[in-house]
């Protein structure tokens, strides 16, 4: 009997494996896109300092009070309201097309593309939420506010420039933003849990 010789399997050359892996890593890092979290552009109130605190007198007609309580109940000037209805209320308030003396004052300014015109630069949306308000309710409120400003500016662009806001150049958008600037004041959140014991004590005292 003749003994069959076993064939030797040549070894795998892995010398360049590390280089190939590194090149693939660089390729995927360069070509892939990563989602970035987007937030809301808001200027937070500075820390309160009793020594430097200055009271600003604002006319009541220029302020729109918006509140969300601990149960996510949305109110505007004391009226319970939906987010869609809030958007319409803000648009009416900020625009004040009839120059209603009970609604925000306006100023006369020189604005690029529009010349000397009325601008709604005195209104304030005063927002206050409870510390127990849910994030979902808060962001729905912010979306309703942003939607109101976008619709106001889009309507102004169509009327005075003959095109939607999305078709306007950046300088044109900046000019329209001067006509309807976002003026939002976020107050310190309330704490319903702290006020609850005080109310309950008052009720107990009344029963004596």
46's tokens: 């500075």
> Given a cut of 50, is residue 51 above it in pLDDT?
no
Residue 115: φ, ψ to 5° = 70, -145
Kindly report, residue by residue over 107-154, the tens digit of the pLDDT.
999 999 999 999 999 999 999 999 999 999 999 999 999 999 999 999
User: Mean pLDDT score of the chain, rounded to an integer?
Assistant: 83
pLDDT score for 30: 77
Torsion, Cα 95 97 98 99, to 10 degrees, reads: 50
CA distance 198 to 153: 46
């Amino acid at each position: 009997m003749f003994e069959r010789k076993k064939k030797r399997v040549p070894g795998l050359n892995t010398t360049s494996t590390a280089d190939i892996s590194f090149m693939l890593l660089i390729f995927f890092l360069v070509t892939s896109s990563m989602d970035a979290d987007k937030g809301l552009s808001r200027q937070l109130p500075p820390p309160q300092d009793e020594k430097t605190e200055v009271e600003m007198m604002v006319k009541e007609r220029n302020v729109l009070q918006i509140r969300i309580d601990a149960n996510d109940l949305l109110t505007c000037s004391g009226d319970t309201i939906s987010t869609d209805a809030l958007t319409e209320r803000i648009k009416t308030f900020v625009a004040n097309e009839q120059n209603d003396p009970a609604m925000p004052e306006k100023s006369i300014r020189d604005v690029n593309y529009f010349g000397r015109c009325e601008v709604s630069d005195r209104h304030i949306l005063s927002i206050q939420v409870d510390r127990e308000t849910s994030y979902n309710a808060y962001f729905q409120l912010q979306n309703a506010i942003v939607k109101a400003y976008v619709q106001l500016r889009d309507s102004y662009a169509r009327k005075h420039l003959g095109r939607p806001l999305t078709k306007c150049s950046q300088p044109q958008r900046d000019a329209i933003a001067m006509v309807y600037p976002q003026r939002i004041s976020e107050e310190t959140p309330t704490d319903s849990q702290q006020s609850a014991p005080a109310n309950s004590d008052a009720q107990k005292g009344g029963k004596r």
